[in-house]
Amino acid sequence: MKVTFTVTESPFGRLLLAATMQGVCSVMIGDSETDLINHLRDRFPMAQIERDDAHLRLQVKKLFDYLNGQVPHADLPLDVQGTAFQMRVWEELRRIPRGQRISYGELARRIDKPKAIRAVARACATNPVAIITPCHRVVGKNGDMTGYRWGIETKRLLLEKETA
């Protein structure tokens, strides 16, 4: 499998977007380009991984257009893999409207697994395509900011950007 990637600056730090021939397979946010690339290599240990900024320019533009509220959906093909449960959670996350927040419990109810709150939270934590699958829109039952793979401050900034 071949995975191409690019790293660019974003309002949240460095952003890595990676794709296969089928679609975007990873979006990560971090401070260190080296760490992001190492995470990508760890996630796809058997893949041929190459940087290709020019090839992924359009995907990055579409992601930023979505992030900036210029389009209602990211409109990017995805190539993500997960369990049937994870796929169901990620699908439901993409249905949460921009600027809205729901609790992990509500997300569990929406997928007809009301007692699976911890499993839902774990599926959010393993979401491979940050921003496109907006796990940042899920908060604690009291509306409190709770864990986010890319940090609570990044989660707060993403939510503020969406409601601005």
Residue 161 has what DSSP assignment?
H
- Active-site position among 29, 121, 135, 139: 135
The H helix count followed by the E strand count for the chain is 6, 6
- Measured in residues, the chain has a length of 164
The helix (H) or strand (E) run that includes residue 145 is: none
The pair phi, psi for residue 92, each rounded to 5°, is: -70, -35
Cα(5)–Cα(81) distance, integer angstroms: 17
Cα(5)–Cα(138) distance, integer angstroms: 27
135 is catalytic: yes
Residues labelled as active-site residues = 135
